[in-house]
Structure 1
Amino acid sequence: MSSTTVTTRTATTPRSLAAVLLARRGVVHLPAGGDVSEPAGQVGAALLEADLVERGYLVAAPLRAAFAALDAGALGATGRALLQDIDRETGADRPHEPLLRGFPDSTPRDTYAHYVDRVLTVLFQQPEQPCVLCGTVDSVVPVAPCAHLVCGTCFDGADFSACPVCERRIDPDDPFLRPKRPRRIFSRRPARPQRLRLLTYGGDLSDRQRDAARELDTLLARTGALSPQDTDDLDALLAARPRDDLDRLPATVPGRETKARLVAWLLADPADLPATLPFATGLLDTPTDVLRVLAVRSGGDAGLVRIPRFARLPRPLRRALLSALDALDPAQAAQDMRRHRRAWIHAAELLHPFEYTDRYPRAALAFAALRGTALGDDALSLALRKGADGVEAIDVSGPAVTVRSWRGQVEAALADRDLHRALALLGQRPGELVRRLDHLLRLAREGDGDGAGDEGRAVVSALERAVGRVAPAVVLSALGALRTRTIARTARVFFPKGAAARAHVTDDGRPPLPAELVRSVAGVLTAEMLRRARAEAPVEVAVVDAALDGVVAPFTERTASRALVTLPRGSELAVPDGTTLRLFLHWMESPASGRTDLDLSAAMFAADWQHIGQCDYTGLRYGGTAAVHSGDLQDAPPPLGASEFVDLDLEQLAEAGVRYVVAVVYSYNNVAFGDLADAFAGLMVRDAPGSEGPVFDARAVEQRFDLTGSSRACVPLVVDVQARTMRWLDVVKGVTGTQHAVWRHAHALATLAHRLTELFGSGARVGLGELAVWQAAARAATVVLRHTDGSRSVYARRDGEDVAAFATRIGSPDTDAAEPTAPPRLAFLLRGDVDVPDGGEVFAVYPYAQDATRVRLLTASDVVTALAPH
């Protein structure tokens, strides 16, 4: 059951329902036992358990017993499927053979000399002649299919997995390739991985739908855009349920993109439309909802980043969508449509709104306002004038239908520095008011001088009226950004909406905001979050890990990478002492990509972000053994593909003067990651020196993420060598041309990593530790704070102490002595090693021993969703 099966797959191949529940909840469902005459017993269960432990998974006692009760054939089939799903999550389902099979010990000490040897071989080596490098006779042979003449004395066929001259894969049966030397086994058992997780028994296969329904409910309750992995899981969960079971679906879905995918699924089968159409269209309450549905059912993106050519609409669906549009205010609908004007004009070609002016006059009026339809004496013009009665924002008195743009009015008010008019307009759309708080506060500062006068109070009052209706992610983004605005900064970072996570760095010329005004606004936003947290069920005791202060509340999840461990962008975690970080990369070409050369690189920077070196294909070693590369494979044909590794010894790097190491993956010949059949990278944490253990150890994998989309360069993380921390960046970098390497992009890499590190370390993004303290203070009578050194501080709510004061005191020296006697029913943890009673709630970056069949496991997105408006 431990053998690796090689299959061609794309990075975005959807997970099965079993794999979804395994990854999200750590739950395994097994076939019903029935009449088992010869159960596999404890021996069979122990063998499977051993395979799981080697991959970083523990087996709960009920699951072990259920394994033992299966017959041998069922256990074998179940075990193979389970291990295949786990191997796919960690990347162990692919063969990982680097260019230098003895890596890191066999990596050349002098990369330049190795390169010169290769060049001399190409230029001067002749068949049936002594080796031009060593003079050995009868040692030179051509390798297939590249036909380079290679000396078996100079280049060890037991160490190379490809042609040592061109570094491309050769025929596995080529005589040059001798059996690789066995790697040394571990001298001691490898350390327990951080991500070690408990697998639990979810019941038989009939119980799988129950658990799937719970996960679906959780995703449909999310207020923000789902990550690509959550989106894939949503599609898998929907595909596993019948469309006629509408009672299980919520009447409202707060996430706009999630709603679009749900509605598109409901409308996918024409045979089900009589039942699903009324329910689906009842979920649509804005024109953009309709446009999102049209995009998704046409194979596009619910975020409308990429809008495809729309698929044809059945007549019942066309009428239902027009009916949904007709129920909206035509002026607001027209203004909403203007955000995607070209797409709506295309949609009109499918919906034919002017053919149904009698039945859907308001929808026709909205389209006419969007298009600026000319008015005359024809029947259409008469119908449009009639439909415009009572709609003040749409003007039909002129030669064409026009609409006063709300967004244009806001921009004009801001340009005129008319704060009160801008506040009146923005009050109509609370989310926009919160998004534009910085601009409004700058206008107040101009009017009041210090922001403490009427202008500042007007902004605070408008915010107090609006904030109760704003999504938590918007409130948290505004809070983080504003509370750092009391000091001047030289750079500003944007994350533009798009298909990939690009970070745009620009100069910041904004003047600082008055501290008193910032405190007032931050107080309003924080008070609103605390008020919402109080709406959740109270508990007696809550536990919070101080280590969560480095974990950032999730934002821009739409562009998050599909990853083994869901870590919000910007989060910082400690690297265990005495370990080596091993970066890994694997890719496989496809017919669309042709020959593709990806390069795994590590860029080294000093404390002032000056570039001082790299470990990549131009320099296979840095500082002796401080950083070591496994060699540059320059193609990746199936079925083997190609793998590259970089070992980082943080102690040696620190001695060499390195402060920051930036990991980066380049597509050398500018092939998009998404064109490949398979592409992923990740990080292992190893405590074995040199060549001990396998080159790829599934147990040691702490993070694995897919390389997808149109990007050609990815910057996944930065390591602070001195602080021994790793910060998850998960951004892509724009590059042009070919022959990409660190030295060509060193300045841009330094700017990007420096500014992102500065941004996330400044408090400009609210941390999950802060959210955990707010929710614990709002819901619990006693809060236990666990410090990173293992000590604990206890805080009990005092008589007359409100939630804000209690939350402020948590983390201060003003503690209470008595340890709580009741067990915690609410826990926010880095590693799930706290025993929580049945029915409790647990957030853990690494779930570890948490049993999803007993407690409710929360994700970072769930922690934010709990603060949604009630």
Structure 2
Amino acid sequence: MVALDADLVGRGYLLTTQLRATLARLAPIRLAELGDGLLARIDHLLGADREHLPLFRRFPDAVPDHAHVLYSRRIRALLLNQPRQTCAHCGRRSTEAGIGALAPCAHLLCAPCLDGLEAQGRGARCPLCGTGLSAGTYLGEDSSAGRKAAEVSGLDQALRPLRLVSASQLAAAMAEFHRLLARRTPLSPQDRDDLAALLAHAPADLPQRLPERIPLRETKAAVLAALLRRDGAGALPVLAERIDTATDVLRLLWSWSGAEPDLLPATARRLRLRNVPRPLRRGLLEILEALPQATLFEDLRRHRSAWLRAGELLHPYEHRSRFPRVTAAFVLLRETDLRTHEVGREFADPPAPLRVVEAGEHTRLGFTGFAGRVETRLAAGDAAGAVRVLAARPGELVRRLHHVLRVHAATAPGAPLPDGLAETVAAALARVAPGPLLGAYGRLRGARSAGERRLYFPRGTVSLAHAKEDHGTVVPAELSDPVCALIEAELLRRGAAGGERYELALLDEGLVDLVAPFAERAAAKTLVSVPRGSRQPLPPGDRLRLFVHWMQPEHLRVDLDLSVALYDARWNFHGLCDYTNLVHGERAAVHSGDFTTAPPPDGATEFVDLDLDRLERGGARYAVVIVFSYNDVPFEDLDEAFAGFLDLGATPAGGRHYHPRAVRQRLDLQGDAKVSVPMIVDLADRRYTWTDLNTGADGGFHSVYRHQAEVGALSRDVLAHFSPENRATLWDVACARAAACTDEVAVRGADGARRWRRGAAETVEEFAARLRALRDPDGAVAGPLTDLLAGRRAFVALVNGDVPAPEKAAGTLYRLYPGPVDAAGEELERWTAGDLVSALTPG
């Protein structure tokens, strides 16, 4: 147990009382298995389960034999560097130096816990391991050798407690399950993994536990496929009740076959559809037959190639007398020649909305769908007519708002919004999902200019980005401002729709730098879920270490290259640090050396150290981090590949080049991509923009010098696209919820916390506008924030969770980075960024 304690502390984690007691009751062999597994999971999370040896061993410049000695020495060094640690018994972090290491076992215990144990007559032994405590209880000051160890250890942060899952936390896991099912925005990779794990352990009465509606189609397909795998054809009644579009059936078939139900071409290329048993085949055809005919035809045409493959499994022509609508849909889809095919005579007089089309020597069925009607009106400049058609599908209307307003501005320059458009848009906004709502808000509120560069993110399994000049008609402010006002009013309405009220809201000004999550389906798995496009401060200090690690399959050589492209303030190419130029300037950037192969079991790792001061003094403003697949092998063909950065200030002096405790961010390199741009560093502001982007590249032999112009142009476009005035941010989302749900808001900024109170005669809209602009505060917050929150129901949205855990606080908590606030009770419900956005789901 002490050896496990030491290994966990070395990784920045701490066993709490219940978990340690549970592990201590295990047989030694079982304990070793579980301990090794726990350490392996943590190492994998931090990327430390591989050897990370640079090619040049002296980069960047040219075990004790007893477990208890190791653990005690690390704890002493930890307390000397950072006395405010987490108590292993209560799990709370001390706000003062009221915590110590028990003698002789060195387990961390706070003074209140020790006093409580003594009052219960249990103060003579350690509550974790049962060791008898020495006189004086706490370990005394260490020797000079211990202080020397503290200097070189780098142990200067609070340990993160590992807790035993209790019955109440199992209930919290089920609550998380229902939150994921209620999400109306695409799930991130971490959320999809969580959902799969929860489905694998779902109780037998899962159908009865499901909510009345699962709004996200991909999530619904994953749940129904899990039911199908478990219950077979017995799940058909649940499927018939839940499926309401033909695309739901297609997603179900993909999930049934073990693929993501995203219906993307990249997924289709790798997918081999699983055979469908005959009872299930008939059941699915029956579900399709019961759908409205017009939407059935349109849904099949929207995903034509995927449905052609699905039709090979469903055999619809075999049951044409029983399922005539489905047969007609596949006749339309396959463009069957009615003159020569045996089903032709059955559709000589097709039902509306189908029609017979003569095309040369062939006769086929024809159909004009929803999209065709919209495009016809937009091409004719009839914006009002297009809106009337789009009103039937609110999501499509909101996604096309910018296009509709552009058409109106081009055909009627200077004219106000068409009559009835504002009312139609307001009605659509009340029904649309949060994603399109926030997307339209970000697109319309920013200042636009003719010929501006626009960034596009095509739907896919990876986040490819393309930019081009937009010479279309600029939407004037007199058209976009009224629509933005409608969206802001809708955000406030949704913030209050749940009826949940708080006594207080605590927000962080830094939320303005966090972009509201979008396209999470294509996001990479990361250690910290920073939304794409967000700006965050770099770790303190002047040096940053970048890394990439990969391991190739046995049959394939893969050469990844970690590179840094440097640009000045005008985005002129300034220099590079990569395998062709190992040292930039006066050691301002140093590359560890180029590995051209990464065989298992350890793979290979490349590093680049950046001296931020030297780079800035040398004239560089931006450092763009890039990972190339030199020999043109896509990342998805690798056994493992990830990149990220380390905080060198948290790395022990003279220690390993890659220390797990120093990892601040990592992302998995994935998908059919060969060039990844994880982040862009602003050397002047000491901040980085988390981009998580891939760019197209063909031909192999990739290098920074070859792609310098494309990388610079893309990076410039990315920073412009993700500026706060051009995107909806978590500040917008949090302000809407806070203003709608409470009359008192505290905002923490760099210069302290200020307070906003809603006046007696002030409307919610006026209060929200004042709060959003941080205008006219009602005074400063006196005293610690934890006292402000104690005993109150609060909505808390922070970037860093470094607020001490408040006593008896309840409500909702979002934080990006973990901290002491995580030790708050379960009454303070944890939310992710996706939960914040999903809370804006229409009632």
TM-score (norm 1): 0.80
Moved more, 333-342 or 231-240: 231-240
Give 1:859's aligned amino acid: T
Query: What is the match of residue 661 of structure 1?
Result: 623
- What pairs up with 1:214-613 in 2 under 5 angstroms? 214-242=175-203, 245-269=206-230, 272-305=231-264, 306-307=267-268, 308-373=271-336, 388=351, 392-395=352-355, 400-453=364-417, 455=418, 457-488=419-450, 490-536=452-498, 537-592=500-555, 594-613=556-575
The DSSP-based 3-state class of the residue aligned with 1:268 is helix
Distance 1:786 1:675, change over 3 A: same
Shift of 1:771: 0.9
Shift of 1:64: 5.5
Shift of 1:768: 0.9
Structure 2: distance between partners of 1:586 and 1:201: 32
Shift of 1:408: 1.0
Shift of 1:440: 0.7
Contact 1:197 1:846 in 2 (8 A): no
Distance 1:428 1:689, change over 3 A: closer
Structure 1: distance between partners of 2:365 and 2:383: 30
Structure 2: distance between partners of 1:761 and 1:301: 32
Shift of 1:62: 5.2
Contact 1:102 1:691 in 2 (8 A): no
- Deviations along 1:163-222, one digit per CA (max 9) or x if unpaired, are xxxxxxxxxxxxxxxxxxxxx98745537569x74433322xx77764543332222222
1:199 aligns with 2:162: yes
Give 2:36's aligned amino acid: R
Contact 1:441 1:451 in 2 (8 A): no
Moved more, 693-702 or 732-741: 732-741
Equivalent of 2:8 in 52, 57, 68? 52
Give 1:539's aligned amino acid: Y
Give 1:591's aligned amino acid: E
Structure 2: distance between partners of 1:579 and 1:202: 40
The DSSP-based 3-state class of the residue aligned with 1:747 is helix
Query: What is the match of residue 36 of structure 2?
Result: 80
Structure 2: distance between partners of 1:689 and 1:224: 38
Query: What is the match of residue 136 of structure 2?
Result: none
Query: What is the match of residue 709 of structure 1?
Result: 671
The DSSP-based 3-state class of the residue aligned with 1:404 is coil
Distance 1:485 1:414, change over 3 A: farther
Shift of 1:580: 1.8
The DSSP-based 3-state class of the residue aligned with 1:534 is helix
Percent identity of equivalent pairs: 41
Structure 1: distance between partners of 2:778 and 2:17: 38
Contact 2:616 2:684 in 1 (8 A): yes
- Deviations along 1:421-454, one digit per CA (max 9) or x if unpaired, are 211111111111111111110122234422425x
Structure 2: distance between partners of 1:689 and 1:467: 50
Structure 2: distance between partners of 1:864 and 1:747: 36
Shift of 1:278: 1.3
Structure 2: distance between partners of 1:505 and 1:193: 41
1:844 aligns with 2:808: no
Moved more, 221-230 or 59-68: 59-68
- Deviations along 1:88-129, one digit per CA (max 9) or x if unpaired, are 1000111111111211002xxxxxxxxxxxxxxxxxxxxxxx
Shift of 1:723: 0.6
Contact 1:579 1:686 in 2 (8 A): no
Equivalent of 1:700 in 662, 668, 673? 662
Query: What is the match of residue 768 of structure 1?
Result: 730
Query: What is the match of residue 52 of structure 2?
Result: 96
Query: What is the match of residue 173 of structure 1?
Result: none
Shift of 1:664: 0.6
Give 1:86's aligned amino acid: I
The DSSP-based 3-state class of the residue aligned with 2:565 is strand
Contact 1:243 1:276 in 2 (8 A): no
Shift of 1:233: 2.9
Query: What is the match of residue 627 of structure 1?
Result: 589
Structure 1: distance between partners of 2:410 and 2:366: 35
Moved more, 347-356 or 71-80: 71-80
Structure 1: distance between partners of 2:619 and 2:187: 41
1:642 aligns with 2:604: yes
Contact 2:154 2:651 in 1 (8 A): no
Distance 1:793 1:853, change over 3 A: closer
Query: What is the match of residue 126 of structure 1?
Result: none
How many residues matched? Answer: 737
Shift of 1:701: 0.4
Give 2:238's aligned amino acid: F
Give 1:769's aligned amino acid: W
Contact 1:664 1:715 in 2 (8 A): yes
Distance 1:214 1:824, change over 3 A: closer
Query: What is the match of residue 801 of structure 2?
Result: 832
- Deviations along 1:617-646, one digit per CA (max 9) or x if unpaired, are 111111222211111122111222111111
Distance 1:488 1:201, change over 3 A: farther
Query: What is the match of residue 782 of structure 1?
Result: 744
- What pairs up with 1:137-152 in 2 under 5 angstroms? none
Moved more, 307-316 or 558-567: 307-316
Shift of 1:574: 0.9
Distance 1:688 1:525, change over 3 A: closer
Give 2:759's aligned amino acid: R
Moved more, 356-365 or 486-495: 356-365
Distance 1:299 1:841, change over 3 A: same
Shift of 1:832: 1.4
- What pairs up with 1:801-816 in 2 under 5 angstroms? 801-810=762-771, 811-816=773-778
Give 1:686's aligned amino acid: L
Q: Which of structures 1 and 2 has the larger relative contact order (alpha carbons within 8 angstroms, sep 6+)? A: 1
Give 1:844's aligned amino acid: R
Contact 1:266 1:276 in 2 (8 A): yes
Shift of 1:486: 4.3
Shift of 1:690: 11
Shift of 1:251: 3.1
Structure 2: distance between partners of 1:852 and 1:394: 61
Structure 1: distance between partners of 2:565 and 2:340: 70
- Deviations along 1:732-756, one digit per CA (max 9) or x if unpaired, are 1222222211111111110111100
Distance 1:690 1:234, change over 3 A: closer
Distance 1:385 1:209, change over 3 A: farther
When the two chains are superposed, the root-mean-square deviation of aligned CA atoms in Å is 2.7
Structure 1: distance between partners of 2:558 and 2:316: 48
- Deviations along 1:637-658, one digit per CA (max 9) or x if unpaired, are 1222111111112112111111
Distance 1:595 1:357, change over 3 A: closer
Contact 2:552 2:640 in 1 (8 A): yes
Structure 1: distance between partners of 2:652 and 2:800: 29
- Deviations along 1:357-398, one digit per CA (max 9) or x if unpaired, are 44333333333343455558999567658983xxx4233698
TM-score (norm 2): 0.82
The DSSP-based 3-state class of the residue aligned with 1:94 is coil
Shift of 1:611: 1.0
